[in-house]
Amino acid sequence: MRLGSVRQLDCSGCLEALPINGWCSSCQHGLVAGLVIPSLEFHQILDAHGHDVEIDTLQCGMCLIVAPEDEFCTRCRNGFAAGQLYFSELTWSLALGVHDGSGGDCPGCKLVVGEVGQCQSCATLWVGSVRFVSKEAASRAAQQYRRLVEALIRLDCCDECAIAGFFGARCRTCHRDPIPDPFN
């Protein structure tokens, strides 16, 4: 599933929404790492942005340990990056990269942006519209991105299946299993 880069978007609302994983009210869809999220409910539940947090107010002992290190708490399923709290591994892993839907000045990057891959020219790692320096961070984000792509495929048939499946639950409507994590 290839989704357009900023240069392919002609809507000012989409251009504004892309770097912040926001919602375009003109087109009535959200964008997360360049993927179009057609459901407002699903986009809101993804909550694909960080939240200010005072680390000393956290209740979880593991969160207190991982927050200063910009890591992910496997117990609470919260991630931390640059003083922000993220409520899913997807949004946390994307926060470890840099949103750049244009692909920058590199011609090779312009071919890869919007997909999961590595630029053949400069070796930049891409997960959708997010670029990474760290292979580990890119790999983690790519797994979550693929899970989101699978959820969007399910969204065409069943809203609940997409949402429940992405967040690790069985769909009560169509009874499909959760989307595996990690998803390969």
**Residue 156 burial by Cβ neighbours in a 10 Å radius (0-12, 13-18, 19+):** exposed
Place of tokens 């959200």: 30
Task: Express as a percent the part of the chain with pLDDT over 70.
Answer: 94
Residue 181 has a pLDDT of 85
Instruction: Identify whether 79 is part of a domain.
Output: yes
Please state the rounded mean pLDDT for residues 113-136. 96
Residue 133 lies in a domain: no
Say if residues 5 and 111 touch (Cβ distance below 8 Å). no
Does residue 163 lie in a domain region? no
Question: Any idea which residue has 């989409």 for tokens?
Answer: 14
Q: What is the pTM of this model?
A: 0.90
In a domain, 63, yes or no: yes
Find the farthest-apart pair of alpha carbons in the chain and give their distance in angstroms, rounded.
47
Instruction: Report if residue 156 sits inside a domain.
Output: no
Predicted confidence (pLDDT) at residue 92 exceeds the cutoff of 70: yes
**What is the DSSP code string of 105-152?**
T-HHHHHHTTEEEE-TTT--EEEETEEES-HHHHHHHHHHHHHHHHHH
Is-contact 119 112, C-beta < 8 A? yes
58 inside domain: yes
**Mean of all residue pLDDT scores within the chain:** 91
The three-point CA angle 104-105-107 to 5° equals 105
Predicted local confidence at residue 6, as pLDDT: 42
Let me know if residue 77 belongs to a domain.
yes
Residue 5 confidence (pLDDT) above 70:
no
What is the pLDDT, as a whole number, of residue 8? 56
Q: How many domains does the chain have?
A: 1
Beta strands in the chain (DSSP E): 23-24, 29-32, 35-37, 51-52, 72-73, 78-81, 84-86, 98-99, 115-118, 125-128, 130-132
Q: Give yes or no for residue 62 having a pLDDT over 50.
A: yes
Q: What is the pLDDT of residues 16-48, one digit of tens each?
A: 999 999 999 999 999 999 999 999 999 999 999
Provide the pLDDT for residue 182.
73
pLDDT the model gives residue 75? 93
User: What percent of the chain lies above the pLDDT cut of 90?
Assistant: 85
Position 4 pLDDT exceeds 70: no
- pLDDT, residue 123, reads 96
Position 93, amino acid: S
Q: Is residue 53 part of a domain?
A: yes
Bridge partner list, 85: 51, 80
Helices 159-166/135-155 angle, 10° precision: 160
Q: In the structure, what pLDDT confidence band is assigned to residue 184 with cuts at 50, 70 and 90?
A: low
**What does the alpha-carbon distance between residue 151 and residue 35 come to, in Å, rounded to a whole number?**
11
> Domain limits at 78?
49-87
Q: Using CB atoms within 10 A of its CB, is residue 112 exposed (0-12), middle (13-18) or buried (19+)?
A: buried
pLDDT tens-digit readout, 149-165 = 999 999 989 899 999 99
